[in-house]
Amino acid sequence: LQELQSSGRGRFLLEHAAPFSAFLTDSFGRQHNYLRISLTEKCNLRCQYCMPEEGVQLTPKSELLTTQEIITLARLFVKEGVEKIRLTGGEPLIRPDVVDIVGQLYKLEGLKTIAVTTNGINLARLLPRLKEAGLNAINISLDTLVPAKFEFIVRRKGFHKVMEGIHKATELGYRPVKVNCVVMRGFNEDELLGFVDFTKDLPLDVRFIEYMPFDGNKWNFKKMVSYKEMLDTIKQRWPELEKLPCEASSTAKSYKVPHFQGQISFITSMSEHFCGSCNRLRITADGNLKVCLFGNSEVSLRDHLRSGASEEALVQIIGAAVGRKKKQHAGMFNISQMKNRPMILIGGYKMYSHVTFFFSPEPALMSFPLCQDALQNPPNSKQWGHTFSHWLTLRASCCVFQKDPSSMFDTKCLEASPVGQASVNCQSKDASPGSCTEVPHASDHLTHTDEEGRATMVDVGGKPDSRRSAVAGAVVRLGEKAFGMVRQNQVKKGDVLAVAQIAGIQGAKLTSQLIPLCHNIPLNHVEVSLSLDEARYAVVIRSSCQTWGRTGVEMEALTAASLAALTVYDMCKAVTHDIVIEEVKLLSKTGGQRGDFSR
């Protein structure tokens, strides 16, 4: 308000404000003065949680809104009382005429705010022209502050471009620059403190958004990190965190660490919805009006516009749609079962909500544990692998496992002792700790099955703790062309060796979720190395795992080598499918009752 009063344009708008349109007021008295317009369905990233690497089926260009149609509809909504328009996508900044669209919107009398939500890749290059055209608010989507994690998830390089865009926005005087971060358990909730610290020296508003359900994403409560949980985590680090006042229609609950330049906010779409003060409407890139982000009800304004409908008729159509808007969340009792178009085709808060559309729907995989070492130690740039355990879990073959509701870990996984281990009873009341020293002998049955042949748990509770390690290997034969591209780091998906190394480390941590009868054990150390064998045009993988516990880590080492090999295949398959994964094998192990092994 102060900014509007300080400018000539602002004073004019305030003095000549018209009564709010009844057509944009719903049956619950909510006045909709905020319109989000999707400029395109296209995006210049290929986020694994949003779309396959080859993209999604796009609406034919002839069915998308033209620039003139966008301006015509915007003018109509502004005339009826809309004061803020946000341009979304897809990625709005890849539309060639986005600067021109902003310029034309700026000329609309009554429009107070023109905003954009972007992934930030093109922001630094376009922002000076966008600001000159009239753009006065920016939201940048960023889910991680770790460059390697960013590249793995979006399948493109560009983290430095996003950061450059953020800094360019602050240099050009945008206050605040809003950074949207959807928080999801097992993915990035470990970066909460890092994002808060990001506001220390920059005028940012980092907005933590609760994970929301959309059609296809198999939303599950356990994936959502609630506002109160996030707030508690942050207050443990900054107990002096103070709450800021907010407007009645605001979707955000804002806080600030004293003496920090920026602030943080929480978008509590799920735990404390703000439907009662909702003032938003959306127009999709193909011209459909959505009165609720969570609903599948849409009205094609494009069709009416192209059929020659008058302005009065369009206003009546819009008013009827607004009048049907439900009290909350599209009137659905269980929004996790809702039907809706994919998030990238809506232009909502972020594309992140489409997270598992192309992955396994198996309910047992909808929750996932953080590694114990990660819970005990703050993450850093070298330890970030556990935060995207979800992605590698879903990329692998799904398995069903039992969940233990009393444990902070979701799995009740089983691992039998190696075949050939002696049968030892350490549960006897006469047995003392560490007294299980039976000499191993050959077994004549599978220890993972009972007498009737059913899978069963082998109790390792009586085994003594000991230091255990294992080394495994694998070879991926790529062929001359793909090998050369890997060596020169010319594969379009990114650095093959770096991503495969990360995948292997994470694979070791997820072994109990991938192999049904493996224990969920804490790993003291995981190391994965990849080297190039020019004679065979091959990538040679070597993995090692260590723990202190009652069961070995052979499976963890083998899983690490296998996942690294599969990742090399995945990143190179666009070059050739003539790739052979071979020599996946255990190289050595130490510890345990059966003694050491070396191939």
Per-residue pLDDT tens, the chain, 599 aa: give them.
454 455 554 555 445 555 678 889 988 889 999 999 999 999 998 876 566 656 678 899 999 999 999 999 999 999 999 999 999 988 999 999 999 999 999 999 999 999 999 999 999 999 999 999 999 999 999 999 989 888 877 888 899 999 999 999 999 999 999 999 988 887 788 899 999 999 999 999 999 998 765 444 444 566 788 899 999 999 999 999 999 998 766 778 999 999 999 999 999 876 666 577 789 999 999 999 999 876 678 999 999 999 999 999 999 999 999 998 888 754 444 444 455 555 455 554 443 333 322 223 333 333 333 333 333 343 343 344 433 333 333 333 333 333 333 333 333 333 333 333 333 333 333 433 333 333 344 455 566 666 666 777 667 777 788 889 999 999 999 999 999 999 888 888 888 998 999 999 999 999 988 888 888 888 999 999 999 999 999 999 999 999 988 888 999 999 999 999 999 999 999 899 999 999 999 999 998 877 889 98
- Residue 306: phi, psi to the nearest 5? -75, -20
Six token digits for residue 83: 């004061």
Nearest to 179 by CA among 202, 203, 199, 207: 207
Q: Which spans in 238-378 are helix H?
A: 301-306, 311-323, 372-376
Q: What is the CA radius of gyration of the chain?
A: 28
CA distances from 418 to 402, 445, 450 (A): 22, 11, 15
Whether the CB-CB separation of 541 and 530 falls below 8 Å is answered with yes
Starting at the edge strand found earlier in the chain, the sheet holding 466-477 runs: 525-533, 538-549, 466-477, 580-590, 597-598
Concatenate the DSSP letters of all residues of 232-274 into one string. Answer: HHHHHH-TT-EE----TT-SEEEEE-TT-SSEEEEE-TTTS--
| 21 secondary structure, DSSP code | P
CATH 3.20.20.70 location in the chain: 8-345
**Whole-structure pTM over 0.85, yes or no?**
no
Instruction: Write the CB contacts of 500 (distance below 8 Å, at least 6 apart in sequence).
Output: 528, 530, 539, 541, 564, 565, 567, 568, 571
Torsion-angle region of residue 440: left (phi > 0), alpha (psi -120 to 50) or beta? beta
Secondary structure of 402-452 as H, E, C letters = CCCCCCCCCCCCCCCCCCCCCCCCCCCCCCCCCCCCCCCCCCCCCCCECCC
How far apart (Å, rounded) are the C-alpha atoms in residues 514 and 393?
A: 7
How far apart (Å, rounded) are the C-alpha atoms in residues 517 and 402?
A: 10
CATH 3.30.70.640 location in the chain: 466-598
Angle, helices 480-487 vs 554-572, to 10°: value is 100
What sign results for the dihedral spanned by CA atoms 63, 69, 74, 76? Answer: negative
| 397 secondary structure, DSSP code | P
Domain 466-598 listed as CATH 3.30.70.640 = yes
Whether the CB-CB separation of 512 and 555 falls below 8 Å is answered with no
Helix and strand totals (H; E) in the chain: 17, 17
**Reduced to 3 states, what is the DSSP secondary structure of residue 574?**
coil
- Residue 82 CB coordination number (10 Å): 26
Whether the CB-CB separation of 455 and 576 falls below 8 Å is answered with no
How far apart (Å, rounded) are the C-alpha atoms in residues 596 and 162?
A: 50
How far apart (Å, rounded) are the C-alpha atoms in residues 479 and 499?
A: 20
For 8-345, which CATH class? Answer: alpha beta
The residues that are catalytic are 570
